[in-house]
Amino acid sequence: MRGSVYTFKIPQVEGGATVSIKVIWSQKLLYHEGQFSLNVPFSFPAFVNPVGKKISKREKILLNVSSGVGKEILCKSTSHALKELRREVGKMGFLYDAEVLTWSSADFSFSYNVYSKDLFGGVLLQSPLLRDIDDRQMFCFYLFPGNNQSMKAFRKEVIFIIDISRSMKGGPLESAKNGLLSSLQKLNPEDSFNIIAFNMETYLFSSVMEQATEEAILEATRWLNDKLTADGGTNILMPLKQAIKLLAETTNSIPVIFLITDGAVEDERDICNFVKGYLTSGGSISPRISTFGIGTYCNHHFLRMLAQIGRGHFDTAYDADSVDFRMQKLFTTASSIILADITVDALEHLDSLELLPFCIPDLSRGSPLIVSGRYSGNFPDPVKISGTLADMRKFTIDLKAQKTKDLPFDRVVGRRQIDLLTANAWLSGSKELEQKVAKMSIQTGFPSEYTLMVLHQTLQDEKAPETILIQDVCTCLTPKYSSFLNYWKNSSIFFFLSSVYTTSRKASPFELQM
């Protein structure tokens, strides 16, 4: 959406021809205090307007909102003059249709509320799609935090683990420091914190957890600015062990480890297995581990898996300018827990179950909780959800299960499931999981680690093959590209490919699908 320009050559376009371009992508809705918001690129530079005579143009936006919840939704704001077409419980339809002399100079934005004072949720069930790779039923359950301010968040004990290896020198480290300091300001005086900086060695701000007073935060600011310089290699396991040891005696609060790094290390699988072993051994309250990656060189599969094992959250920033904002957003979600140790009784009685993520995260005030998967057997109705509140009382809620047909499950949860399964495949080394991800990628159209899109042109009315395996492609390409694909075929990653179609002899608009 930013930082890249995508170009695609359309050959043999004659004067007066009409070229249609269809672009499909998916993006998350932003959520803040019960309000969902969407922003779609819809601004065009001035040079796309023809010089000279003003020619009338038509802009059209059709917006369908299906919230998936059985509650009334309320439109809050919009950037363009939308006309309401329909309204049902949990659904709305709008249309923007205008004749303009110049193309839009503003992106399209829209926001709506699903209002509820108290915590609420639901369970959505759906049958597998036609030609689905998995014939089990699909499910998705969600919890919304609501707007009840009397529902307190857990007291926090937070340890920030920040990478100060050589690769962090300059912009990445300064941005990470700013994000860390901004996150410290969000702590309450009753919370406690510590900071561990690491390269091949570790450097502790304090030997004990410090109360988040103004004086302590000011001292931490001086320590970050005066004592830390980027140099050396990267050792993540050592500071993780130190953080876990510091948080071992936590009671009546949620211990949070917040890892910030831009690098990759050789023992990443050992780190995941160590944390998994520690968290399953029982004992004190398990620390929640959230991870934040900076740039493209860190192993996102490792960071996502570590967060999944630690019931935390993962995010990344590819450029220094977005580090501060995205770190604060992630920290707010990771540290504002209002319901912990969530269990779902329905999952224990199913014949088979695939749960993504496999560890159910906590519910935070800053973000809805969404868990999806596949099952076989009889899904009970209602579904009992249990958890622990900040005052350590047990909380239980019954969620109604409903079957839905018009909600595109594969589009809503596909990207997330592919990412989680890819992280699982990375940790386990399972070729079966890799092939499953590849098939999901082809079915949903989401790119993956194990798929590659190729361009295959067909004549009009000629039926294109549905799926081409990499062995078939290698036989019909030039030696140069065949060698390239054979290199990947013989490596540890196996790629699945499918066809790309052309639909016209003259203007040749292309429709790309995985």
Per-residue pLDDT, 2: 52
Cis bond before residue 447 (omega within 30° of 0): no
Q: Span 192-221, mean pLDDT? A: 95
pLDDT of 103-160, one tens digit each? Answer: 888 899 999 988 777 888 889 999 988 888 899 999 998 998 887 777 889 999 999 9
Q: Span 323-341, mean pLDDT? A: 91
Question: CA-CA distances (angstroms) from residue 64 to 61, 87, 88?
Answer: 10, 10, 11
Eight-state DSSP code of residue 422: H
Eight-state DSSP code of residue 156: E
Q: Span 222-233, mean pLDDT? A: 89
Q: Output b/e per residue, 474-509; b: 16+ Cβ within 10 A.
A: beeeeeeeeeebeeebeeeebbbbbbbebeeeebbb
Which range, 23-27, 86-90, 215-219, 222-226, is most confident? 215-219
What percentage of residues in the chain have a pLDDT greater than 90? 48
Per-residue pLDDT, 432: 94
Identify the CA nearest to 203 among candidates 227, 169, 170: 227
Q: Which residue has the higher pLDDT, 215 or 346?
A: 215
320 in Cβ contact with 295 (< 8 Å): no
Q: Determine which of 268-282, 311-325, 467-481 has the lowest per-residue pLDDT on average.
A: 467-481
Q: Determine which of 2-6, 154-158, 185-189 has the lowest per-residue pLDDT on average.
A: 2-6
Per-residue pLDDT, 376: 93
Per-residue pLDDT, 472: 43
Q: Determine which of 118-122, 264-268, 305-309, 471-475 has the lowest per-residue pLDDT on average.
A: 471-475
- From edge to edge, which strands make up the β-sheet containing 35-40? 30-32, 35-40, 108-114, 73-78
Say whether pLDDT at 300 is over 50: yes
Q: Which residue has the higher pLDDT, 260 or 283?
A: 260
Q: CA 485, CA 471: separation in Å to the nearest integer?
A: 9
Structure tokens at 361: 């995260």
Angle at 247 between CA 174 and CA 368, to 5 degrees: 70
Cis bond before residue 128 (omega within 30° of 0): no
Q: Determine which of 183-197, 401-415, 484-498 has the lowest per-residue pLDDT on average.
A: 484-498
Q: CA 64, CA 200: separation in Å to the nearest integer?
A: 52
Per-residue pLDDT, 228: 84
pLDDT of 28-78, one tens digit each? Answer: 888 887 789 999 888 888 777 777 677 788 889 999 998 877 778 888 899
Say whether pLDDT at 473 is over 60: no
Identify the CA nearest to 186 among candidates 335, 406, 376: 335
Per-residue pLDDT, 179: 93
389 in Cβ contact with 145 (< 8 Å): no
Per-residue pLDDT, 510: 32
Per-residue pLDDT, 222: 94
Say whether pLDDT at 497 is over 50: no
pLDDT of 64-96, one tens digit each? Answer: 998 877 778 888 899 999 999 999 888 899 999
Q: Which residue has the higher pLDDT, 35 or 24?
A: 35
- Give CA 312 to chain center in angstroms: 12
| Beta-ladder partners of 159 | 194, 257
| Beta-ladder partners of 364 | 337, 367
